[in-house]
Amino acid sequence: MLKFSFLFILLTTQTWAKGSVMIEKVIQDYFQGYQQADTTLIKKSFHSNTRLLSVDQGKLDITEMSDWLKNLEERHLRGDIRKGKLSIESIDVTNETAIAKLKIRFDAFDFTDYLSLLKISGRWIIVGKIYHFQKI
């Protein structure tokens, strides 16, 4: 029984670690895409039905993916390239579902992101984003 439990934990840990590395790649693509206003990387990282949710002046603020992509395209055309620092605070994986907490710092503002991810057709993708924005 002990041998079976150890083997199960070992296999589960290896599966989690592999999933975690794949999720980190998706997060890195998202971060690079956001910094560079690169919609190709954002589309690669996010499901097309994703919504971005936050609170603005005490009210729910919902940004549709299509609106966010337009905003990024406009940033790209203006040459609004940003340099920031990404910290992946945590990743919690259960089979084909995961949640990640990120801290993203720029010179003038910070984001805290909570990303929901699903493994669809063998590929991890962000399906939800809840975030907090704070000016520094």
In this predicted structure, what is the pLDDT of residue 80? 95
Indicate the pTM of the whole model.
0.85
Q: Does the pLDDT value for residue 15 go beyond 90? A: no
- Tens of pLDDT, residue by residue over 73-125, are 999 999 999 999 999 999 999 999 999 999 999 999 999 999 999 999 999 99
- Which domains can be identified in the chain, with CATH numbers? 2-135 (3.10.450.50)
- Which residues does residue 102 pair with via DSSP β-bridges, in sequence order? 88, 113
CB 40 within 8 A of CB 88: no
In this predicted structure, what is the pLDDT of residue 60? 98
Q: Does the pLDDT value for residue 1 go beyond 80? A: no
Q: Percentage helix, strand, coil, to 5, in the chain?
A: 40, 40, 15
State the DSSP H helix or E strand holding residue 59, giving kind and residue range, or none if neither.
strand 59-64
